[in-house]
Amino acid sequence: MGRLVALGVLGIALALLGERLLALRNRLKVSREIESIDLPNCHLIKGIEAGAEDIDILPNGLAFFSAGLKFPGLHSFAPDKPGGILLMDLNEERARALELRISRGFDLASFNPHGISTFIDDDDTVYLFVVNHPEFKNTVEIFKFEEEENSLLHLKTIKHELLPSTNDIIAVGPMHFYATNDHYFSDPFLKYLETYLNLRWANVVYYSPSEVKVVAEGFDSANGINISPDKKYIYVADILAHEIHVLEKQPDMNLTQSKVLPLDTLVDNLSIDPFSGDVWAGCHPNGQKLFVYNPNNPPSSEVLRIQNILSEKPTVSTVYANNGSVLQGSSVASVYDGKLLIGTLYHRALYCEL
């Protein structure tokens, strides 16, 4: 009798594991293939060879790139080179991406930048917020951008127990931000288990010098985050749930769910057109190709444009798609004055004239 019970328990456990594996394959969209949709006026950006995971563009056309992200289990074309922040002036005819100098005293050797966000203060001071993973830990670095010197002055390093697996960030003040945690845990094995079991414990955190709190939770894997031009709504990409969440910002900085937009792809970072309010998303059509890198079958790229996201029926269009022959693993798409920049998790970056 005891053996029958043990056998039954084993059978249930194997069935559960099989169901979870099938669910994970569906969340990764392992069987999805795409057809290329080209734009006529595009070229790869010189100086970006090992990823531009996130991009943020100032109103004056200066674009910041977060370059060289390295993560356990993630492919890298430059595993021994520290990451950096690059700058590109989109007003120049032959714009180039150049690495910014960072002030002395900051640990450049372990710099591993991920999501980024800019904030312009009332006195026109530009702050750059960077999610950093030194030695695969989690910090948020705040810099002051010194345009005349083409450099970043490091102001502060933030660590907090509510930021265990930080992915992306949106600045809402000189020392204030919302950040996504793509996992509840920081330990790599527990992260994998959390993903495999689909616990949906990922969250969004609000940080200020006087208060740090979880303001939204229940995500499969909270990833990109941004804010509407009127500052009333926060947009969060849930990459493994294939969704964009629209959250209304409250006076106490808490977030309440307004709507969820389902999509047919793994949505990474989100950028906002400041004039139209359109949401631009860098996406991964097939997540397995992204994490199990095969140069003969590389990860593909996809850029979506979402118009009227607050309406009952937003318009979702695919602006760019590539099977990996040109661009592998698109993670972000940002627009400025008829120009489109597409960054990737660990590959190249593309500049297009729309």
Residues at the binding site for Ca(2+) are 53-54, 116, 167-168, 223, 268-269
User: What SS3 class is residue 300?
Assistant: coil
Cβ 305 vs Cβ 267: under 8 Å? no
Chain centroid offset of residue 56 CA: 11
What residue type is assigned to position 95 of the chain? A
Whether residue 164 contacts residue 183, with contact meaning beta carbons closer than 8 Å, is answered with yes
* Cβ atoms of 192 and 183 closer than 8 Å: no
Round the CA-based radius of gyration of the chain to a whole number and report it: 20
Q: Is 114 an annotated catalytic residue?
A: yes
Catalytic residue among 75, 114, 242, 347: 114
> In this structure, what token pair is assigned to residue 88?
């590109």
Structural tokens at position 270: 């989100």
- Plot region of 73 (φ>0 → left; ψ -120 to 50 → alpha; else → beta): left
DSSP structure class, residue 131: E
Q: Tell the burial category of 201 from Cβ atoms under 10 Å away from its Cβ (0-12, 13-18, 19+).
A: middle
**Known binding site: residues?**
53-54, 116, 167-168, 223, 268-269
DSSP 8-state symbol, 203: E
With b for 16 or more beta-carbon neighbours within 10 A and e for fewer, the 88-98 pattern comes to bebeeeebebe
Q: Is 112 helix (H, G, I), strand (E, B) or coil?
A: coil
Task: Look at residue 345 and give its three-state secondary structure.
Answer: coil
CB 44: neighbour CB atoms within 10 A? Answer: 15
Cα distances from 118 to residues 42, 78, 146, 249, in angstroms, run 26, 26, 13, 19
Q: Which residues are catalytic?
A: 114
